[in-house]
Structure 1
């Protein structure tokens, strides 16, 4: 009986001893140790062929690998949790051994010259939360194994050479906050499964070769702030629910083949808009006056579409507006007072670009042009149906670099005061009915590189001051 008790005691001691050994061995998990981390880091180093800042000179046995440049370890386990080698002009490929860094939470390799494929072994990093590989030369397809990293929050692999389709499995990243696949060569449709990413705040897919329509399911992304799908081959209409995501700050769908009209309540349902960019599509109908309710709007670009009717008179409520581009549309009536909306734009004291060219605006150039923002550096009202004279007050626009009034029906002379626009670099007044002399004050425009005045009905001699 005593011998049996001793045997049980010995067995219990053996179990407790080895259990405590396991618990007290913080550097091992699933067969990996901190020695595994060190060897994985050295394997990553071996794949680098150019290291102009000598980053890897510290990666040697003289110091612990947790003190190597770009490496951060957890205090408890001394295992690598962050690998940050961003913006170091590194050239090489990414070793598959990165998949052995089993405690890794963040990979930041952006803004380098990595090439080759993104290792599938990254999918073994079940703790990974942040993957940043943007601005490299990675090739191949999206790493499908990455969908096993269920805790991932940020994926940014923009500005690479990735191709193929966007995997539908991305819809399983329920914790994903940011997804940026822009500036690659992805093809095919946008997966409707992305609508399952209920926490997603950033969806950036611009500058790819995506086609088809925008999935209706994306309208479920109630936390979306940045929605950028510009420069693809998308077609069809924008799903109505997307116009109702009140958290959106940037709504950019320019350079596609999208069509349809804009909802009249647009500025009410998207009150936090900062940038609204739909240029280069096939939208039609009126510009919604409700846009003036999006009081934080900075950029409004709807150029190269088929918008028609009058420009809303209340755009002056957009006090932060810096960019208004409505070029190449069917706005205006070819009649008087088409530009009366400019009166309200005098309230936009940050306005830097105002492009109204290639439309149907008629009537006179209003004197209120003189009261536009002194920050205005580009003013284009070319190829319309404007008549009357160039207002004297245009001299007030002292920071103007580009002035385009060509191909209208303007009369009168070029005001002598235009010489006060000394920062002008490009001046286009050709194809009007301008008469009189070329003002010698143009010689004050020492930065002028393009001066286009004909055909008009100008007379007299060429001013000597043009030699300036």
Structure 2
């Protein structure tokens, strides 16, 4: 997700891809205005007081010599001279966030990602009714998800991934109708996934990867008709994948690996997910056959269904997937007990970007096709075995 930040004495803009907000502010670098809006200034100084380490001296400008709207990382509105953006990402800052941040009532964007902030996320952030962007990812925050955030009805992005948060994901998140990015991955959240998340009709990114979530995938997720990235891997989810999920034609990343899911894949998978790029379902308990329609998802880059219980033949026309980079069928029971089980390799000659092909731990029979020598020159990893011997390289 690209974010471009540029500033000068006359223009500042923050541009975000995929519909992120655009904010512009003209801030004159003159001290002639004096120090107005003392509440904002005092709140900023309180935030500074709780930052224990500032190796890049980012906050050295936070002093009386210039107006607070010209302090590094602070952006103000031109009309009201109120703080609208706090941007201190990737500054190696160490400390906690002061509850006084809740006094910056004009804030629309908080960008504190990739630092070493710790402690809890102040519930006072829930007082920021104008807040649209909250980026606190890649820090060391602890405690539970701040439920007061559900009062910020204008929120479009909540990214608090890669922290040490625990507890349950609050069901009240389903009330944030403007939210299009909910990224909570790599924390310690437990319990079930709230079905109410399925009511976030604007949602495009849902990333709950690497938590301790359990229960089933809510059937309500089938209502997320604009969803593009679905990441639920590395949890303890069980049950079947709701069929309506396979009908969300906007999905590009379908990643459910390392759970306890069972069931089979729908036969029209590649037709209902036409722009699929990442299809990763490895390390589950899925069964049935690989749908031949998968080759209709012509943009696919990764297919990883390793360590499941898939059976039957591999589609012979995988070579039509010209962007295919990673193919992992290891640890299933694929094969038809026929001597032509490996004929699908012939079509893979067309996959000029193929770097990895992992086929071991299946029931393939037959001779390795001569076409194996014509596979992509980019191929770095391949593995195959059957009763007549192993074939492996890394």
State the TM-score, normalizing by the size of structure 2. 0.90
**1:16 alignment partner in structure 2:** none
The answer to whether the Cα contact below 8 Å between 1:83 and 1:107 also exists between their aligned partners in 2 is yes
What are structure 1's unaligned runs of at least 5 residues? 1-32, 388-403, 407-423, 427-468
| Alignment match of 1:51 (pick from 50, 54, 63) | 54
* Greater helix fraction, Structure 1 or Structure 2: 1
Equivalent position of 2:29 in the other structure: none
> Once the 2 structures are TM-superposed, how far is the Cα of residue 363 of structure 1 from its aligned partner?
1.2
CA distance in 1, matches of 2:66, 2:372: 67
1:355 to 355, 358, 376: 358
- Point out where structure 2 has 5 or more consecutive residues left out of the alignment: 1-35
From 61, 77, 98, the counterpart of 1:74: 77
Could you tell me which residue of structure 2 aligns to residue 405 of structure 1? 391
Instruction: Give runs of aligned pairs for residues 265-304 of structure 1, distance below 5 A.
Output: 265-304=268-307
1:349-386 Cα deviation digits (max 9, x unpaired): 1001100011111111111101111011111113x234
Native 8 Å contact 1:337 1:363 kept in 2: yes
Larger Rg: 1
CA distance in 2, matches of 1:76, 1:183: 40
Kindly indicate whether structure 1 or structure 2 has the higher relative contact order, using CA contacts under 8 Å at least 6 residues apart: 2
2:215 alignment counterpart: 212
Coordinate RMSD, CA, aligned: 1.1
- In the other structure, the counterpart of 1:244 is 247
Aligned partner of 2:37 in structure 1 is 34
Partner residue in 2 for 1:109: 112
TM-score with structure 1 setting the length: 0.76
Residues 155-184 of structure 1: CA deviation (Å, up to 9, x unaligned): 000000000000000000000010001000
Q: How does 1:308-323 map to 2 (within 5 A)?
A: 308-323=311-326
SS of the aligned residue for 1:362 comes to coil
Given the alignment of the two structures, is residue 144 of structure 1 paired with residue 147 of structure 2, yes or no?
Answer: yes
Q: In the TM superposition, what is the alpha-carbon distance from 1:117 to its structure 2 partner?
A: 0.1
Could you tell me which residue of structure 1 aligns to residue 330 of structure 2?
327
Q: Distance in 2 between matches of 1:386 and 1:363?
A: 9
- Report how far residue 334 of structure 1 moved: 4.4
**Alignment map for 1:66-465 (pairs within 5 Å):** 66-382=69-385, 384-386=386-388, 405=391, 426=394
User: Offset at 1:195?
Assistant: 1.0
For residues 260 and 71 of structure 2, the distance between their equivalents in structure 1, rounded to whole angstroms, comes to: 50
CA distance in 1, matches of 2:39, 2:80: 13
Residues 49-73 of structure 1: CA deviation (Å, up to 9, x unaligned): 1111001111100111111111111
- Offset, 1:149: 0.2
Moved over 3 A (4+): none
**Partners of 1:163 and 1:187 within 8 A in 2:** yes
Per-residue deviation at 1:333?
A: 3.4
Q: How many residues are treated as equivalent by the alignment?
A: 359
Query: Aligned partners of 1:79 and 1:294: how far apart in 2?
Result: 49
CA deviation profile, 1:223-275 (whole Å, cap 9, x unmatched)? 00000000000000001110100000000000000000000000000001000
Partner Cα distance (2:50, 2:329) in 1: 50
